[in-house]
Amino acid sequence: METQYIVGVDAGGTKTRLRLATPQGDTLEDVTHPAGDWTNLDSRGKAVALGASIRALTRSPPIAVGIGAHGCDSDTECAELRTAMEAELAVPVRVVNDAFLLEAAVPVGGPAAGLVVGTGSIAVARDTSGGSLYAGGWGWLVGDPGSAWGTVRDAVGALTRAHDRAHTDDPLLPALLAHTGARSLRDVVGTMQSTPPRSWARWAPTVFDAAEAGSPAARTAVLTGADDLTTLVGHLVTRGADITRVVAGGSVIVGRPPLAEALRDRLRERLGLPLTVYTGEPVAGAVHLATPPEPPGTSTRTNTPPEHPAPGAPGGGRRTTR
């Protein structure tokens, strides 16, 4: 008898993670490779690329595929990729924006907002009709609070304002100078202006360490990030999000407990919502999407995000980097 498989895919902006699993969701194999030109491909091109990756992974066609796709920023776009993938593989496929994988990875506890806080940040949820809602994700220049580049940007901004008030004793400044090799705060700002944001986003650990060491500028940036992330979730609630909890993931929120605790306090105080920080791989959520439903009366799974409606259904969003 031929072995049956399902495949979960976390197709991010920088890397693609594929997980081969049994129909019950037990992991058989993981494969990670660079995303390549993913963000510039149309739905058909993405389907061809993912189809080739899946065929290289499986000995026989999978019985179902679940995909969390970076760049599927509306229900229509996700439905288009689903259609292209089903044409490519001839198996059932479910497609969501990759931020929705967090809820799918932690399916018990009621409908959830997904909050990604990594290099960038974005909040997602669904309304009562199943339509997707997005808040944030506007990128390093004007948004992405709490993220790596958002925290660095806000901390350096706080340093410049303190410098203008002749407050030059913040311990964050010498820490940044030592980390970057810059000679002055102006050099630090100049480096940010002349190098790719992803480069200076790597200064985030220095900022978080300085916050824990008592830096006013760094602490302001971290707490502002927690405030603004809470505001993003609040925007989803105001717009009709059907949620009873928040599931957060991403390198920054997972790796920096003080940010997570500040966010947890604010979500509880302002919105009455509990926070779960998911420390596993988001591809687990994609596997959950692909897992066939259990017979009536036997299922222990709850709150799997609904599949995106057909083209023309409500919902929209924008891109960010996680």
DSSP string, 71-124: T--SHHHHHHHHHHHHHHHSS-EEEEEGGGHHHHHS-SSSSEEEEEESSSEEEE
Q: For residue 18, is pLDDT > 60?
A: yes
pLDDT at 249 over 50: yes
Place of tokens 């660095």: 152
Amino acid at 172: L
Query: How confident is the prediction for the chain on average, in pLDDT?
Result: 89
1-101+280-322 topology per CATH: Nucleotidyltransferase; domain 5 (3.30.420)
Provide CB contacts within 8 A for 92, sequence distance 6+.
Answer: 63, 64, 65, 86
Domain regions of the chain by residue span: 1-101+280-322, 148-277
Instruction: Look at the domain 148-277 and name its fold.
Output: Nucleotidyltransferase; domain 5 (3.30.420)
pLDDT tens, residue by residue, 79-90: 999 999 999 999
What's the confidence (pLDDT) of residue 320? 47
Of 258 and 310, the structure prediction assigns the larger pLDDT to 258
Interior angle at CA 304, CA 69 and CA 98, nearest 5: 15
Query: CB count, 10 Å around CB of 166?
Result: 7
User: 233 and 135 in contact (C-beta within 8 Å)?
Assistant: yes
pLDDT for the residue numbered 311: 33
Question: What would you report as the CA-atom Rg of the chain, rounded to the nearest whole angstrom?
Answer: 21
pLDDT grade, residue 71 (50/70/90)?
confident
> Confidence class of residue 12 from pLDDT cuts 50, 70 and 90?
confident
Q: What confidence tens digit (pLDDT) does each residue in 106-156 have?
A: 999 999 999 999 989 999 999 999 999 999 989 899 999 999 999 999 999
Q: What is the pLDDT of residue 156?
A: 98
Global pTM value: 0.85
Tens of pLDDT along 288-305? 999 987 655 544 444 444
Q: Is 215 helix (H, G, I), strand (E, B) or coil?
A: coil
Share of the chain above pLDDT 90, in %: 78
- Predicted confidence at residue 64, as pLDDT, reads 96
The pLDDT value given to residue 296: 54
d(CA 260, CA 294): 35
Beta bridge partners of 27: 21
List Cβ neighbours of 214 (8 Å cut-off, separation of 6 or more). Answer: 171
pLDDT band at 201 (very low <50, low <70, confident <90, very high): very high
pLDDT above 70: residue 307: no
Q: What confidence score (pLDDT) does residue 186 get?
A: 97
pLDDT exceeds 80 at position 179: yes
